[in-house]
Amino acid sequence: MNNSIDTQSLMLQMRSLAAEAASQSAPVAKMGTGAEGAENFADLLSKSVNAVATEQNKSSEMKDAFERGEDVDLSEVMLQVQKASLSFQAMTQVRNKLVEAYQDVTRMPI
């Protein structure tokens, strides 16, 4: 098992993930208004939570496989753990911003 990390491959993967994230965020700006926008937002939020859960599950499976001694590269396990951690932190930040926005709206005078 080779424990060295190919930095070029890692950078290319990070750039491709960043480009993918940028392309996925484009439909958010085109959301409709009213009930259609609320449904799209609810779907988007649900998909985001499911994606974070998937990352967490994949991370857990890879850690378990590594602990059992299966042929799983340690660097891949660590990358998946970091991806899961970052996606969870991002989701937490989005939740915090949503709660803050809701509180601002509730404090507005009528």
- Top pLDDT among 6 and 31 is at 6
User: Which H or E element spans position 35?
Assistant: helix 34-67
Domain ranges of the chain: 36-110
The CB density around residue 31, as the number of other CB atoms within 10 Å, is: 13
pLDDT category, 26, cuts 50, 70, 90? very low
Whether residue 31 has pLDDT greater than 80: no
Type of residue at 40:
N
pLDDT category, 45, cuts 50, 70, 90? confident
pLDDT category, 15, cuts 50, 70, 90? confident
> Which residue in 92, 90, 82, 37 sits closest to 58, CA to CA?
82
CA atoms within 13 A of residue 59's CA, in its CB half-sphere:
17
Model pTM? 0.61
Phi-psi map region of 6: left, alpha, beta (phi>0 left; psi -120 to 50 alpha): beta
